[in-house]
Amino acid sequence: MRDLSQLPNLNLALIQTTLAWHDREANLAHFEGLLEQAHGADLVVLPEMFTTGFSMDAERLAEPEQGPSHKWLKAQARKLEAVVTGSVIVRTVDGSHRNRLLWARPDGQVLHYDKRHLFRMAGEHEHYTPGERQVQFELKGWRIRPLICYDLRFPVWSRDAQDTDLLLYTANWPAARRQHWNRLLPARAIENLCYVAAVNRVGTDGKGFAYSGDSQVLDFQGEVLLGAAEADGVLHVALSAADLAAYRTRFPANLDADTFDIH
- Beta-bridge mates of residue 142: 139
Q: What is the pLDDT of residues 77-119, one digit of tens each?
A: 999 999 999 999 999 999 999 999 999 999 999 999 999 999 9
| Identified catalytic residue from 48, 63, 74, 124 | 48
| Identified catalytic residue from 63, 74, 124, 149 | 149
Angle between the N-to-C axes of helices 68-80 and 24-34, in degrees from 0 to 180, rounded to the nearest 10: 10
Q: What is the pTM of this model?
A: 0.97
115 an active-site residue? yes
Write down the domain spans for the chain. 8-251
What sign for the dihedral angle of Cα 54, 86, 131, 173? negative
Count the Cβ atoms, other than its own, within 10 Å of residue 97: 17
Q: Kindly write down the DSSP assignment for every residue of 192-258, as one continuous string.
A: HTSEEEEE--EEE-TTS-EEE---EEE-TTS-EEEE-TT--EEEEEEE-HHHHHHHHHH--GGGGPP
74 an active-site residue? no
CATH number of 8-251: 3.60.110.10
Q: What is the pLDDT of residues 158-196, one digit of tens each?
A: 987 568 999 999 999 999 999 999 999 999 999 999 999
| Identified catalytic residue from 63, 115, 124, 194 | 115
Distances (CA, A) of 163 to 3, 9, 133: 12, 17, 16
List the 195-199 sheet strands across, edge first.
137-139, 142-148, 166-170, 195-199, 216-218, 224-227
- Beta-bridge mates of residue 216: 198, 227
Number of helical (H) and strand (E) elements in the chain, helices listed first: 7, 15
Q: What is the pLDDT of residue 37?
A: 98
Q: Evaluate whether 128 touches 148 at the Cβ level (below 8 Å).
A: no
Count the Cβ atoms, other than its own, within 10 Å of residue 228: 21
Q: What is the pLDDT of residue 141?
A: 97
Is the predicted pLDDT of residue 48 greater than 70, yes or no? yes
